[in-house]
Amino acid sequence: MKTLIRTLPALALTIGAASLAPAQAAALWAGADLRTSGLDAHAGTALLPVPFIGTVGVEGGVGASYSGSFNEARLGATLRDLNIPFTKTDAFVSGGAAYHSSQSGDVNTSGVGLYVEGGLRGPLLGPVGWRAGVKADTRSGLSAGVGLEFRF
């Protein structure tokens, strides 16, 4: 009986930690979004799981305007799998540098800007999930988007 009484606190902590664990932690991911500014694709990899918090990783992406021309390439760090307790939804936040290429007549307005992005992710079917986010960029401004993401 004493052994049972001693193990109850450890058991309660284990069950509590399990309920706060990330919903869809992934080692690799890739996805595509429809954004207010155009189309977007991204891919990343996990570097370090942080217990009870999420996963630190790197993510790269490209963006294109709705006319079809690629106009953005970015690379940054991400903190993903931020669990929202008692749901199958988690949050993410990313930030880094983005190269924007654009041509206005004979004037080249290309340059590097900084971006930060945040949003929510959730499961759909197997490794496929939905993703919704908002991105702010020092060169291209604010955009929002929704899309699909494959997690491996």
User: Cα angle vertex 114, ends 113, 120, to 5°?
Assistant: 135
Q: What is the pLDDT of residue 1?
A: 52
What confidence tier does 6 reach under pLDDT thresholds 50, 70, 90? low
Which amino acid is it at 59?
E
DSSP string, 87-145: SS-EEEEEEEEEEE--EETTEE--EEEEEEEEEEEEEEETTEEEEEEEEEETTTEEEEE
Render pLDDT for 106-136 as a digit per residue (tens, 0 to 9). 556 689 999 999 999 999 999 999 999 999 9
Pick the residue with more confidence: 149 or 9? 149
Could you say which of 3.30.830.10, 2.40.160.20, 1.10.3720.10, 1.20.5.510 is the CATH number of the domain covering 22-151? 2.40.160.20
Tokens of 99: 């190269």
**Confidence class for position 16, pLDDT limits 50, 70, 90:** very low
What Å distances lie between residue 147 and 17, 26, 64, 67, 123, CA to CA?
30, 17, 15, 19, 12
Q: In angstroms, what is the C-alpha Rg of the chain?
A: 19
Q: Which residue has the higher pLDDT, 30 or 53?
A: 30
Supply the pLDDT for residue 108. 63
pLDDT at 69: 82
Which residue has better confidence, 45 or 18?
A: 45
pLDDT digits (tens, 9 = 90+) for 62-91: 999 888 788 999 999 999 999 999 999 999
pLDDT at 8: 46
Is the separation of the CB atoms in 92 and 133 below 8 Å?
A: yes
pLDDT, residue 32, reads 97
- What ranges do the domains of the chain cover? 22-151
